[in-house]
Structure 1
């Protein structure tokens, strides 16, 4: 409410509720708290005076002044317009003139009465008033309409192609309170229009016996005509939209698909209602149906428009939910179906809440307080259910990104096992110890996830530690023979497959083996790994050296030491490689690799798998 330049009402009108204070004083006095109340009252009075007297505080504070009720209900734009419509419905044009700002017009009751009657007739013919829910019920009016603070637009009239805006203006009453009246700027233009011979189309159509009987200040025929017009408008809208829904698939092939067809069906009913409302508003204005009747139905049209919008949201939510549910079923994602059903229920609840708020607002109920309470309640609920919401968002992330699926073997943090279930709140993992661990989805989705199910091959990476008595030629022999072993094996990928002498360790000479084994399962990998390690032990043994013991190992006399004969053989083999330029170091000759490819003895000689295929490969791979 605006108070600049407005004198404050006398204190005698409402003396700070002294009556309630007196009653309270007696009660508190009986309880022994009189002095506490006295000081509180003194402090309150001091604060009020500090607010009322300018310049006594560093910051001027606004005071909400309560004005007495206006007998005609003109404290805000909505009640003032409603009062004017009610007055003309009662044919009380003298009271209706009290809602007009006649300060710039010739004085006299008759002048105001004539203007009130003329305004009604023009509104009946080619005018409209905004629905009441669209007109501000704030004593200060609307602040977001781009008009001066004391002016609000409430309707318009079209006469001979000229559009006359109907404004309502804030004035000051005898008690300096706000009084909203139809602006003199609009009344000046209305006063220049002759309304003597105005006959509306509805007056020509209705028979006399339907015009003689009055219902609510309007001929009964107009009420009946309005109801019939509403039914006719819906019939027209239904025919037009049904025809379009039938023709669109014939003209547009994509509209025959399930997705587009579902969207068209979702829009069908809302469009029928929207078109029916629009036709009703246009036809009722063109027919000249009384503004009294149209204002009664204006709230209904707004409600129907909101209902149409809510039906559209509902149908779209149902269609999207059903479509997403079917997609999840086709993928076999049970948890995805659960998320879709939850989101669909949440959308339904949101649409219902939005519908209730919209309908109450259309009926003129102030929902600001309810929205504020709903916002605070929603914030409190969100804070209380923070972990639940976090887990739900985590489950949605797991389903959309799909870093894991049911049946996958994975590691999440310190947990390793097989995923058994992905639920709305948590995920269950069966560990290697056969225990069941439940991990909240919020924690799960934010953790580092290692999924072994997506592994395309297995890494074979042993490090062989040789005794320090091993000679360089023996190491060269081992490097060549071990590479031959990898290149020859049918399940070892040759690229990369490397064997390198990498380190003179504190207790051993270290040879690094790096290769990938082309198998599908972990069991197959262990099988091939076992075969390779056994063959590597054979190669090390044939070289005349051995694996190193830890440096703490004590050597006793029983230790036979290294085989001099095998060492001599390895050295002679390396010598021949040198003489014949056949030493495959530092790299193997590609032609030699091709010769060795798939020539390895695998499965090993004597294995039962040899008789199954004779191909040297694991059956089924």
Structure 2
């Protein structure tokens, strides 16, 4: 069961990973539009927090898209001593650096007017992203201005002082300087022609790399499974090809885009597309992994002969698949800008309502799961279940069906069945034999000793009787009998074999009783005149002679039957008997 527990833990880990797999959070409606605004709840929240760093950067992205240098002046804290032309040039360089090397995630920027209080910068400062340069990158810093005319968040003067050096480096190392003017000077949908060509090449490289890397990962997985000596069908490996290709393709594509110097707005849109695609890829991977785990569990149960346990694998797979799809849908809706908090709250209320309405059904479902996992009984087992005795015919999602000794079928809800006292006769390793003999009251003491000794000898010599405890004792005086109790365990694998052994022992004991010159007692008090032969005097005399011989030799072995007397009698009889006496 350890392997199955580990698989379950792996599924839970994957689902938890999916919850955190919203790699690029939602970009609100209108972020990349041409100045158009909406009246959604999200926008109302932004208007309420208009002094927050996120609101400031959201508006600056629109300025970047529109290439509005004059309006960008309001969001910059200039170093001292710059004239108007120097300021304009610095703003243009800022826009160029942000477009080409800016790494900013709007969703991660604080929406608090005071900024994030958990970073390691001064209270009036805020880090909102990174400028990716070689050899060292540096943070994009904002400062909150308290000037009455220009109150709000702006790019800090310290950050702006580093922009000219980065811009000069970009000009010297820019790939555009080596391209024909026709590819650099013309744009299509705001993207330069050479960048469109680069996008096509990046897509082609991503497709080829995804095929190569997925093939390598596929064979690494197969070799790892082979080294661990696990039996995994090839169909399961093949099911992971598609998500592996998508993962590797997205990774290579994201890396290749860094060399195209596309503007910040386009990268934000591309990041939004990648986050949606990556969420779908994670969902496909999670569904394939769930199906693979369920299939491996099914094969493992079948190899162990636990075919009944496979009944619950189908519902478990469906439940996990529904959970994965729901989490994927919530993630996608968040990426599309919806407020998922209300959706999650609605799902929670709906789940509570469904749970209350289907309480008994859910209780029976989990009762069935506990029966199949714990396996106190299996299909085909005979036993006593509460007050019902019979054979288990089926363990379903809602109830367990039992075929009784009267050949009727009793259907017991799983919730009730799992709380019953279940006595499974199929799992006993041996059968108990407890019997009581009533010997005639006129039997002599010597006859009783001989009976006890010979029955003990019979039990020790019979190959189907366990030697410990093989007990025969004169236990009580009945109203009309001398009572001998026989207790032993029978070596039998089923009830029919047990009955056959008990029948053989009873016949042999009956012969012993008759040969001892006595008989079983009648369970009544009867006054009669005996005119027939009665008890055989010859047998009585023979018994008395045998008793005298035993007394003269070693004496009777009662009451403890020493091992020196018992050992030479072990398993000396034939069973079944070839020529039983009639």
- Tell me which interval the TM-score lies in, with the shorter structure as reference length: 0.7 to 0.9
Asked whether the 8 Å contact 2:51–2:153 carries over to 1, the reply is no
Structure 1 CA distance for aligned equivalents of residues 454 and 166 of structure 2: 116
Structure 2 CA distance for aligned equivalents of residues 427 and 67 of structure 1: 56
1:379–1:71 Cα change, 3 Å: closer
1:478–1:127 Cα change, 3 Å: same
Structure 1: unaligned runs, 5 residues or longer: 1-65, 609-621
- Structure 1 residue 518 corresponds to structure 2 residue 491: yes
Q: Identify which range, 87-96 or 394-403, moves more after superposition.
A: 394-403
1:121–1:436 Cα change, 3 Å: same
Correspondence for 1:128: 103
Correspondence for 1:406: 379
Q: What is the CA distance between 1:352 and its match in structure 2?
A: 1.4
Q: What is the CA distance between 1:537 and its match in structure 2?
A: 4.1
Structure 1 CA distance for aligned equivalents of residues 354 and 385 of structure 2: 30
Correspondence for 2:128: 154
- 2:258 aligns to what SS in structure 1? helix
Of 233, 243, 259, 2:206 maps to 233
Q: What is the CA distance between 1:357 and its match in structure 2?
A: 1.8
Structure 2 CA distance for aligned equivalents of residues 205 and 314 of structure 1: 47
- 2:411 aligns to what SS in structure 1? strand
Asked whether the 8 Å contact 2:191–2:262 carries over to 1, the reply is no
Correspondence for 1:617: none
What does 1:333-344 align with in structure 2 at a 5 Å threshold?
Answer: 335-344=308-317
Structure 2: unaligned runs, 5 residues or longer: 1-41
Structure 2 CA distance for aligned equivalents of residues 173 and 448 of structure 1: 80
- Paired residues, what number? 537
Structure 1 CA distance for aligned equivalents of residues 355 and 371 of structure 2: 22
Q: What is the CA distance between 1:345 and its match in structure 2?
A: 1.8
Structure 2 CA distance for aligned equivalents of residues 149 and 340 of structure 1: 55
Of 462, 465, 469, 2:435 maps to 462
Structure 2 CA distance for aligned equivalents of residues 510 and 143 of structure 1: 91
1:364–1:117 Cα change, 3 Å: farther
Structure 1 CA distance for aligned equivalents of residues 530 and 157 of structure 2: 121
Structure 2 CA distance for aligned equivalents of residues 386 and 139 of structure 1: 47
Structure 2 CA distance for aligned equivalents of residues 67 and 491 of structure 1: 86
- Structure 1 residue 187 corresponds to structure 2 residue 164: no
Asked whether the 8 Å contact 1:409–1:452 carries over to 2, the reply is yes
Of 349, 357, 366, 2:322 maps to 349
Structure 2 CA distance for aligned equivalents of residues 89 and 344 of structure 1: 47
- Structure 1 residue 291 corresponds to structure 2 residue 264: yes
Correspondence for 1:26: none
Correspondence for 2:412: 439
Structure 2 CA distance for aligned equivalents of residues 281 and 524 of structure 1: 73
Asked whether the 8 Å contact 1:90–1:217 carries over to 2, the reply is no
Q: What is the CA distance between 1:189 and its match in structure 2?
A: 4.5
- Structure 1 residue 204 corresponds to structure 2 residue 177: yes
- 1:480 aligns to what SS in structure 2? helix
TM-score, normalised to structure 1, is 0.72
Note the alpha carbon deviations across 1:216-251, whole angstroms, 9 max, x for none.
Answer: 655354345335423423323332332454577689
Note the alpha carbon deviations across 1:447-501, whole angstroms, 9 max, x for none.
Answer: 3332222344422111334566655433312211211332344433434322123
Correspondence for 1:577: 550
- Structure 1 residue 95 corresponds to structure 2 residue 71: yes
Correspondence for 2:286: 313
Of 506, 509, 512, 1:536 maps to 509
What does 1:12-411 align with in structure 2 at a 5 Å threshold?
Answer: 74-100=50-76, 102=77, 114-130=89-105, 132-135=106-109, 153-159=127-133, 161-168=135-142, 181-184=153-156, 187-190=159-162, 193=165, 195=167, 198-199=170-171, 201-204=174-177, 206-214=179-187, 217-243=190-216, 245=218, 254=227, 259=232, 265=238, 267-328=240-301, 335-411=308-384
Correspondence for 1:51: none
Asked whether the 8 Å contact 1:223–1:293 carries over to 2, the reply is no
Q: Identify which range, 246-255 or 220-229, moves more after superposition.
A: 246-255
Asked whether the 8 Å contact 1:166–1:186 carries over to 2, the reply is no
Q: What is the CA distance between 1:434 and its match in structure 2?
A: 1.0
Q: What is the CA distance between 1:381 and its match in structure 2?
A: 3.1
1:352–1:135 Cα change, 3 Å: farther
Structure 2 CA distance for aligned equivalents of residues 598 and 222 of structure 1: 97
